[in-house]
Amino acid sequence: MATTAEICDANPQLIVSGELRALHPVFQIYGRRQVFSGPIVTLKVFEDNVLVRSFLEERGNGRVLVVDGGGSMRCAILGGNPVQQAQNNGWAGIVVNGCIRDVEEINGCDIGVRALGPHPMKANKKGMGEKQVPITIAGTRIWDGEWLYADTDGILVSKMELSI
């Protein structure tokens, strides 16, 4: 995969049109896979991880789960077990606008994970949230089915898969 910087340099017209957007640089890098990309599945939850877990139990087929956790810094909505499941089920990555826990376990997994930071407290288990809806995280509106490209320089979202 080309770097996110190279993607930006090669596609100035997509940046101007808004078809290629960069998320604000607010995410920490976790997991062994620092570079990942794939079609996006969106999820909107708040301090509840039931839907996160249920998505990651499905076959990932190279997709990226992008979770708008409302930016909550009061608990973790993703932990080591679901990340291990995501790795085993073929997800390319997970981006969480919120916190994670079990960092050492996650860092041992061959998957890309981005989150705002770690938090030791677990989330609620009420099953509240919305699947595959437009979300806004890190200054960027993201739609289910768009494409995400992540590396150590940042995270890009594109309306379509880019030939890179």
- Whether 112 has a binding-site annotation, put simply, is no
- Whether 81 has a binding-site annotation, put simply, is yes
- Whether 69 has a binding-site annotation, put simply, is no
CA distance 1 to 10: 13
Torsion on CA atoms 152, 154, 159, 160, rounded to nearest 10: -10
- Whether 39 has a binding-site annotation, put simply, is no
- Using CA atoms, how far residue 97 sits from 26, 72, 129, 164, in Å, is 9, 8, 14, 27
122 DSSP assignment: B
103 DSSP assignment: H
Annotated binding residues for substrate = 79-82, 101
Annotated binding residues = 79-82, 101-102
Annotated binding residues for Mg(2+) = 102
